[in-house]
């Protein structure tokens, strides 16, 4: 069964450094998402992406964050200058269509900021 893959599974970074989290969505999916889950808290929406542009972003997704689909398979989340509070599990998801379609999630990248 096709799945969303995320790399790395765990990323440790010094505060202030840039980090790029990578995702390979399911191949025929057109809509892509990033979510995060801080330890002990809810899964929170960050951004949705369709047709090479951001469809919607949350308040969390400030100027330090960016997303890119550099080629036909990868979808990346970049945090330009990491802060301690960016430590969380980051999940990538994709869906075949927008709207009433289930999103399929990767296993996440655990980001630890020191």
Positions touching other proteins (CB under 8 A) are 4, 6, 31, 33, 35, 42-45, 48, 50, 55-56, 58, 91, 93, 95, 98-108
Nearest distance, CB of residue 91 and other proteins, angstroms: 5
Q: How far is the CB of 101 from other proteins (least distance, A)?
A: 7
Nearest approach, Cβ of 16 to other proteins (angstroms)? 28
Give the residue among 72, 71, 75, 18 at the shortest CA–CA distance from 46. Answer: 75
Q: In this structure, are residues 105 and 91 in contact, taking their beta carbons and an 8 Å threshold?
A: yes
Beta bridge partners of 71: none
Nearer to other proteins, 65 or 105 (CB): 105
């Amino acid at each position: 069964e096709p799945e969303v893959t995320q790399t790395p599974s765990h990323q440790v970074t010094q505060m202030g450094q840039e980090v790029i989290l990578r995702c390979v969505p399911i191949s025929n999916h057109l809509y892509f998402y990033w979510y995060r889950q801080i330890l002990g808290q809810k899964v929170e929406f960050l951004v949705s992406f369709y047709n090479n542009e951001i469809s919607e972003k949350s308040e969390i997704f400030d100027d330090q964050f960016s997303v890119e689909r550099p080629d036909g398979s990868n979808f990346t989340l970049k945090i330009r200058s990491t802060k301690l509070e960016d430590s969380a599990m980051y999940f990538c998801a994709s869906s075949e269509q927008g709207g009433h379609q289930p999103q399929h999630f990767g296993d996440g990248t655990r980001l630890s900021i020191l």
